[in-house]
Amino acid sequence: MTRMLLSRETLGYGATAVLTGVSFALAPGERVVLLGRSGAGKSTLLNAVYGRLAAQGKRVALVPQDHALVPQLSVLRNALMGRLDDHGALYNLTNLIRPRQADRAGVLAILQDLGLAPEIDRAVEALSGGQKQRTALARAFWRGGEVLVADEPVSAVDETQGAALLARIAARFDRSVVALHDVGQALGFATRLVGLRGGAVAFDAAPEQVAPAEIEALYA
């Protein structure tokens, strides 16, 4: 049985509730897309789901909305940070100073998959927005695990590239929970859509069970 991650909970900040009555579970093979206008609570729900999965001991890869990259460091070194908690401090320190060949080769294969291989040794601060976003995805892919939690992970790339990246996500992670603002991309990727509106979950169902009008109402 799939364990509930959230059960009729209120999520928010301090005394301010953002979402109330939220229940959420994540079954094997599910790709959940969160939809809703800006400020609806997508990041809030993602953060709560991430926290609960981690508390259950699941290996979760995270792509935060602001990417949380170290600008002065190279794409390679930022990607390597996806596995910092697999190793001790000495390994991490020496690997950041002089990355081990096997780790470099592993990251390079991921960067090739993401069309970012030529940038491997460039500092992140010198990259375009889309390249930075793909670096954050590379760090998540290098981390790997059962679940990806990602906040607008393809917002800075064009539609075609975004669809290709979402296909890579689907291939690499058994389960994912992703906030997207492009409804077309969401429909192409999701096995389940969660719509947020008015401080609550407006729908949580397979895409074919959600009427276009219900999706439009999220943004009205």
Ligand X SMILES: Nc1ncnc2c1ncn2[C@@H]1O[C@H](COP(=O)(O)OP(=O)(O)OP(=O)(O)O)[C@@H](O)[C@H]1O
- 108 in Cβ contact with 117 (< 8 Å): yes
Nearer to ligand X, 35 or 166 (CB): 35
**Of the candidate residues 22, 35, 41, 210, the single one contacting ligand X (CB under 6 A):** 41
DSSP 117-161: GGGTTSBGGGS-HHHHHHHHHHHHHHH--SEEEEESTTTTS-HHH
- 170 in Cβ contact with 192 (< 8 Å): no
Q: Is position 15 an interface residue for ligand X (rule: CB under 6 A)?
A: no
Stretch in the footprint of ligand X (CB under 6 A) among 35-43, 128-136, 157-165, 212-220 = 35-43
Q: C-beta of 45: minimal distance to ligand X in Å?
A: 7
Q: C-beta of 151: minimal distance to ligand X in Å?
A: 7
Stretch in the footprint of ligand X (CB under 6 A) among 33-41, 50-58, 162-170, 211-219 = 33-41
- Residue 197's H or E segment, with its range, is strand 192-197
Q: Is position 44 an interface residue for ligand X (rule: CB under 6 A)?
A: yes
Nearer to ligand X, 80 or 215 (CB): 215
Nearer to ligand X, 92 or 155 (CB): 155
Nearer to ligand X, 41 or 162 (CB): 41
Q: Is position 20 an interface residue for ligand X (rule: CB under 6 A)?
A: no
- Residue 30's H or E segment, with its range, is none
Cβ neighbour number for residue 15 with a 10 Å cutoff: 5
Site string for ligand X, 62-81 (x = CB under 6 A): ---x----------------
Cα pseudo-dihedral 14, 192, 63, 12, rounded to 10? 0
Q: Is position 166 an interface residue for ligand X (rule: CB under 6 A)?
A: no
Q: Is position 36 an interface residue for ligand X (rule: CB under 6 A)?
A: yes
- Residue 167's H or E segment, with its range, is helix 159-172
Find the distance separating the first CA and the last CA of the chain, reported in whole Å.
37
Cβ within 8 Å of residue 118, ≥6 positions away = none
Q: C-beta of 198: minimal distance to ligand X in Å?
A: 12
Residues that bind ligand X (CB under 6 A): 13, 18, 36, 38-44, 65
